[in-house]
Chain A
């Protein structure tokens, strides 16, 4: 154990970024079946779920990704943990490229990041005891065996606020919040440095959500974890993230420091999104009505994908795709901001 713990702490290079995503794209084929294409003389069709996305996640921070449905949040999560292969671009974890050809190096790398999924009812095997569920990563990476492994499982259950005696139970004996704790314990079992959290609290009630978010923060402090937090809930991301990326139709519209994004959003889409959040403080602010809906990602609008809903759109926005430009501490992909119109 001592070995692996020191392995987890060692950091080759002094690079502040733990994960670097460069020009990441992923397309999905959504063509009709071959015969239909031949008869109807239609070409293959593709959906770009993620196009040309670049960002970095710094060691020890929580990077939030927000966006509405179809914005590519979950696809990015799956690409980063290797559940999907990118169509283009690359992902560097601690300086090493993911999906390289060296299987053993990849396996060593694989231990260092984990994922927590949205639905704790689907992500835990209902036929396994909690003990087996949590011990699986320990066994897979050969981190401990026998009595030591059982002690490790008990310790992990204790860490996430469950009782070591829960190890003998099945997932159905737990509530949603407790199941998410089990999922977190399993994610921690391989002693990772980086955890991808894909909507970790969306299936939970608010009071339970608060428990899980607090737990995630405590674990981050205790183990020096780095999080990629994906959520459609802006208040959750605001509460948790140091830096936030706003996705729209598979592209990053804006990356900014958490506080800054909420105090002065630059991209018109970020502004619209923030304006749409119901106001619990009841400040009586009058919201600008939000225009339109998200376009169909199979047939996205030309130029900036946001232009049909954007109050500042001009001809250039309808023709060219804006690239992210450095603005202050963050990046904004908008011609309006670039040209000083907004």
Chain B
């Protein structure tokens, strides 16, 4: 494999509170290869968004990175002074957030916002910046871009606004785009359009994408690899096809079974009992053990380390640890 564009190693993010320190991310490690789309899925509170914020150095104080390292193309970026980090944000890492209304400034026209970003990060003149902005808006599918560029954000519909945000994220030609729930605020018919635009334009420019979403369907259609987060830890990571069709971690298995699909015939959905623990009450050992149908002694005391299960595929579960007896036939059948 080539050198990863982004490499996150044992990242720990903590939030000190009056009642003790909460660990929002607990030793999370993953890589993103150049041009790759990595999906991050998980339920609310699993740490998806925090991992995005940590990479761009925008964790809300008093939250802080308490351990681990983040490397962008061989350069360590988690301990940079704010001024240096500011130059990386926007220039080398672009961002798309859930709500396009809050990520655009309502007081400036789209033209002002995009040309400002281009000129902050790239050495081009006003005229050139404007031409680039128009070309980019046209590329993300804004009709009559040359005319509409001087409109304010509120002149655009939700879907069009999210296109503007994508243009804004890509205007300084970043190497990595972090998209945090980019389609969650949009209707299904518009969601599909936005996902297509994001995917195509990043592929064209060779930008990698970290796609954070709770929607497995969006991941299935967009990502190359996917990381499944649970209670601030990565349960399973691997190529999308493998993880979706042949999930190995009992949490992923439960998660996939609980999603109603358009083709299924089952009367009941698989359900995982209980809910994800709060950050102040993460159980000993494997965080999933109280809800796991295959829990055994070791799971309750020792936290499982990620085990390599194939190319680019890791599962953090004692079932797959070396020296551990393979799951019995009965369990295999249940899993299938």
Contacts and interface: CB of A to CB of B under 8 A. Distances in A.
A and B: bona fide binding partners: yes
Interface of A: 68-69, 175-178, 205-211, 213-214, 217, 232, 234-236, 238-239, 262, 272-282, 287, 289-290, 293-294
Contact of B193 (A207, A238, A274, A290): A290
Interface of B: 43-44, 157, 159-160, 187-193, 195-196, 214-218, 220-221, 240-241, 244-245, 254-255, 257-264, 267-273, 275-276
B221 A213 contact: no
A213 B216 CA distance: 18
Contact of B160 (A208, A272, A293): A293
Given A210-B269, A213-B269, A278 B192 contact: yes
Nearest to B185: A69
B220 A282 contact: yes
12 contacts: A175-B275, A177-B275, A207-B255, A207-B271, A207-B276, A210-B260, A276-B188, A276-B192, A278-B195, A282-B245, A289-B192, A293-B190
Contacts, number: 118
B44 A205 contact: yes
A214 B270 CA distance: 9
A214 B258 CA distance: 10
Contact of B214 (A206, A273, A282, A290): A206
Given A207-B255, A273-B189, 11 more contacts: A175-B275, A178-B275, A205-B275, A210-B260, A213-B260, A262-B262, A278-B215, A278-B221, A279-B220, A280-B216, A282-B220
B52 to A, nearest CB: 18
A204 B267 CA distance: 20
A258 B234 CA distance: 37
Interface of A is mostly: helix
Contacts of B254: 207
Contacts of A290: 189-190, 192-193
Nearest to B45: A205
A277 B276 contact: no
Kindly list the 4 A-B residue pairs having the minimum CB-CB distance in the complex, ordered from nearest: A278-B217, A210-B258, A205-B43, A239-B260
B132 to A, nearest CB: 25
B260 A236 contact: yes
Given A280-B244, A280-B259, A287-B192, A294 B269 contact: no
Contacts of A279: 217, 220-221
